[in-house]
Amino acid sequence: MKNFIYIIVLALSLVACKDENSIQTYFVEHQEANNYSLVDISKTLVDFSSADLSEEETEAYNSLDKLHVLMYKATDSTQLDYEKELKGIQKVFRNPEYSELMQFNSDGTKFKISSIGEEDTVNEVLVLASSNSMGFAAIRVLGDNMKPEKIVALISKIKDANVDDNKLKGIMDFLK
C-alpha cells in the first residue's frame, strides 16, 4: 500500500510540473496530429564551405545543433481548425520564459522570433511563421550558447551557401 501511495504522489508531481505552455510539450502533443508534420533538420542542410565565412560567422555556425520544424497546413476546409491551432501555438509563444526578439510581416506572412536563455547567449531560438493561406510553422533552432547577433550575420550568408534540396523534400512535399 505504501508503494502504491508513493507512485501516485510521484505521478501527480510529474503531471503538476508539466509546463502546458512549453514549445517542447506542444511539439510532442501535435507531432502526429492531423494536418501537422514534424521535420528535424540537421545544420548540415546548408553547406557554407563556398560562402567564405568570417570567424564570427563560423562561430555562429558551430553553435548550432539542429532545427525542429512543426508545420500545420491550412486549407479551405481546415480554416476554422487552423485559427484554433494558431491561437494555441501563439499562446505557447507568450510563455514568460521566452524572450521576444522581434515581430515582423513579409509578403503576407507574420513572423515572431523569441529565445530561451540569457540575453547575450541563448540555447534555443523559436520562430513562428504564419500565413492564412499556407498555415504555420513553429521552428526550434537548438544550439549551445548561440549569440543572436552572430546568427543574424550567418543568415545573411545563406544566399552564398549550397542547400541540399533532398533534405528539404519533406517540407516541400507537405506544403504542396
Model confidence, pTM: 0.76
Which residues on adjacent β-strands are paired with residue 72? 36, 136
Torsion angle, alpha carbons of 144, 150, 152, 158, to 10: -90
DSSP 8-state assignment for residue 96: T
Average pLDDT over residues 51-55: 82
Measure Cα distances from 10 to 20, 81, 167 in Å: 18, 35, 42
Which three three-digit cell numbers place residue 140?
Answer: 526550434
Q: Side by side, which strands form the sheet with 109-117?
A: 36-42, 64-73, 135-146, 122-131, 109-117, 99-106
Phi, psi of 137 (to 5 degrees): -130, 130
The residue among 130 and 150 whose pLDDT is bigger is 130
- pLDDT tens string 5-23: 444 444 434 443 445 679 9
